[in-house]
Structure 1
Amino acid sequence: MRIAVVGGNGNIARLLHPLLVEAGHTPVALVRREEQRPGLEALGAEVALLDIEASDEDAFVEALRGADAVVFSAGGGPDGNVERKRTVDLEGSLKSIAAAERLGIRRFLQVSAIDVDSPVPAEAGEVWAAYVAAKRDSDAALRASGLDWTILRPGRLVDTEGTGRVALGDDVPRGDVPRADVAAVLAGVLERPETYGKQWNLVGGDVPVTEAITRAAG
């Protein structure tokens, strides 16, 4: 399959591309800057330009055209820019969902965040509240779509080496998870119809990825 990865130069996406290639797929990294092309092509991805914030829905349609599935893993970054939580994390997801629906692309994977349906403590601050709201609302929009969706809600993302073992499920408590293991779960659920319509928390654990997916889907 051709897999369009929105946020294709992100930390999770760069780990995902080689896994998709290994599985026989063609990842298409959608990125904002041409200078990102060589590094992504070295990972086996094709590259297409898409400025998530500046592009309208029609531009998303053109960028996703020819894809068999979409992975939305974009994020506005760790900075204190409240506005980018809306324009990237929320509106980027909404435009990706709408474009997939227009093109008839059924399969849609989304990387969200753990506990975003829970109330945000007052002391958490404006930026965190905006981030949680964006992820919560984009997840709700995807759940309401007619797509074959899977939503992964990782805990705190870390850059340690992946273990290949996770805890995955509806009520898994907050914890850390290597980005490499998030990428492995994304690749693992892609072609499994029993994961359609599932929203799971994801943290580090003791169960091998494939088995964790089977248990969660059962």
Structure 2
Amino acid sequence: MKIVIAGGHGKIALLLERLITQAGHDAVGIVRNPAHVADVKATGATAIVRDLEQMDEDDLAVDLEQADAVVFAAGAGPNSGAERKFAVDRDAAILLADAASRVSVPRYVLISAMGADSYDPATAVLPAADDRAVFQVYLRAKAEADANIRARGFQWTIVRPGGLLDTPGQGTVRAGTAVPRGSVSRADVAAVVLEALLAGAAIGRQFELTSGDVPIHEALAAL
């Protein structure tokens, strides 16, 4: 299986790339910064340098040829402004979908955010007035990207994790259409994405994810 990951140098992406290659599959990480190539290669994955904010679907589609799945794990980052929230968290996710459709990639997994649909429409607009408004724009960007993917013909899965932790994975989670707010390790998010990809689990499902006591394969099978 060949899996292409947008945002290939993100913390979840690097963990996922290692899991994919350890499972005997091919991972390709798309990174914007050439300095990040070595970190992606260290996971066993292949790295390609592309700026998703500066390319069109035709060019990106070339990179997705013969891929079995794509994963959107990119993000504008906590210190970015509202404009980049739209440009990366929404528009780049849609660009990946456009390119994947162009070359008939069947599977799309999107890492979103818990509570994305709860944004305040009056605040989530440009220009953003303050940090709260920037966060509302972020939630809106995620929600609109999610809606775009749900409307397409992919075998899609949308994962909405809670607060992200750099702690070891437990291998157990809580997953559901809506779950109480909480946190989850990035390692467990990566393991959930891997299970969704390799087991064909959670197709056509959007779910929130936090730490819990249900083994990952059981949690996804129950969605």
Match of 1:209?
A: 216
**Contact conserved, 1:49 with 1:63, CA < 8 A, in 2?**
no
The one-letter code matched in structure 1 to 2:160 is R
- Per-residue deviation at 1:120? 3.2
Taking a change above 3 Å as real, the CA distance of residues 164 and 194 of structure 1, as seen in their structure-2 partners, is closer
The answer to whether structure 1 residue 184 and structure 2 residue 196 are counterparts is no
- Cα RMSD over matched residues? 1.5
Judge conservation of contact 2:174–2:213 (CA < 8 Å) in 1.
Answer: yes
Residue 52 of structure 1 pairs with residue 52 of structure 2: yes
Assess if the C-alpha contact under 8 Å between 2:81 and 2:134 holds in 1: yes
* Equivalent position SS for 1:117: helix
Match of 2:150 among 143, 149, 152: 143
Partner letter of residue 3 of structure 1?
Answer: I
Query: Counterparts of 1:194 and 1:112 in 2: how far apart (Å)?
Result: 17
Is residue 195 of structure 2 the alignment partner of residue 157 of structure 1?
no
Q: Give the TM-score of the pair, scaled to structure 2.
A: 0.92
> Take 1:107 and 1:101, find their aligned partners in 2: how far apart are those partners?
10
Moved more, 3-12 or 160-169: 160-169
Deviations 1:52-82 (A, max 9, x none): 1111122221222221110001000001411
Hey, which bits of structure 1, 4+ residues long, moved more than 3 A? 119-124
**Contact 2:119–2:140 (8 Å) recurs in 1:** no
Q: How many residue pairs were aligned?
A: 216
* Structure 1: runs of 5+ lacking an equivalent: none
Contact 1:7–1:74 (Cα < 8 Å) also in 2: yes
User: What secondary structure does 1:131 align onto?
Assistant: helix
2:68 counterpart letter in structure 1: D
Equivalent in 191, 194, 207 of residue 200 of structure 1? 207
- Superimposed CA distance per residue, residues 134-178 of structure 1 (whole angstroms, 9 cap, x where no aligned partner): 000000000001111000000011111211110011121211011
Report the identity percentage. Answer: 43
Written as runs of structure 1 = structure 2, the 5 A alignment for 1:55-134 is 55-120=55-120, 125-134=132-141
Contact 1:30 1:63 in 2 (8 A): no
Displacement, 1:16?
0.4
- Cα distance in 2 for partners of 1:206, 1:177 equals 12
Structure 2 alignment gaps of length 5 or more: 124-129
